[in-house]
Amino acid sequence: MARFLSFLKKSDAAKPVGDDRNSPEYKRKIELSTCALLLLMAKSDEKFTNDERQKIIDIMSITFKLDEASIDELIELSNAKINDQKEIDDILAFMNKNFFFDEKYDLAKSLYYLMYADSYLSDFEVSMLARIGKALSINKIALETIKRDVLSDIENGRALF
């Protein structure tokens, strides 16, 4: 458990992939980074359920228009990355540096949807999201707003994922 929480600190080690946000390299790094954070969140409570795996597939499919085989590959690649503190630091630094606020907002929203996938919100997941939010320069007020939006979507049957 501690290994998942210990590496979520800001890093100056961001390695930009270039200025072209439309390049295949940039898009692939965004897909892999997103998948890694989703997987990290899903495993933060040390229970990776089938519902959480399906939610990751749904999020990645809708967000990036990927097929299940491509998502399975990203999950496999992400699995190796989330066990290395430097890799996670680099992912968070890359996202913080290269994501616009609305992209960070959408990512946090996806993380909240994932947190509610198994109908159990653990303290570890809450702590993980707070640390990710801090690393991505998303303040507590914005995170609470995102949480309310997701809960409202779920309660009203408007959940995107």
* pLDDT value of residue 6: 37
Q: How confident is residue 144, by pLDDT bands cut at 50, 70 and 90?
A: very high
Phi, psi angle pair for 135, to nearest 5°: -65, -30
Q: Could you list the residue range(s) of the whole structural domain that residue 134 is in?
A: 20-155
Considering the domain boundaries, does residue 5 fall inside one?
no
* pLDDT value of residue 2: 38
Question: CATH no. for residue 71?
Answer: 1.10.3680.10
Considering the domain boundaries, does residue 15 fall inside one?
no
Structural domains in the chain (count): 1
* pLDDT value of residue 16: 47
Considering the domain boundaries, does residue 4 fall inside one?
no
Considering the domain boundaries, does residue 81 fall inside one?
yes
pLDDT per position as a tens digit, 49-106 = 899 999 999 999 999 999 999 999 999 999 989 999 999 999 999 999 999 999 999 9
Q: Is the pLDDT of residue 148 over 80?
A: yes
Report the candidate in 97, 130, 161, 108 with the shortest Cα–Cα distance to residue 8: 130
Considering the domain boundaries, does residue 83 fall inside one?
yes
Considering the domain boundaries, does residue 27 fall inside one?
yes
- Copy the structure tokens of residue 146: 């995102």
* pLDDT value of residue 18: 54
Considering the domain boundaries, does residue 9 fall inside one?
no
pLDDT per position as a tens digit, 102-130 = 999 999 999 999 999 877 788 999 999 99
* pLDDT value of residue 47: 83
The answer to whether 88 and 81 are in contact (CB under 8 A) is yes
Considering the domain boundaries, does residue 6 fall inside one?
no
* pLDDT value of residue 97: 94
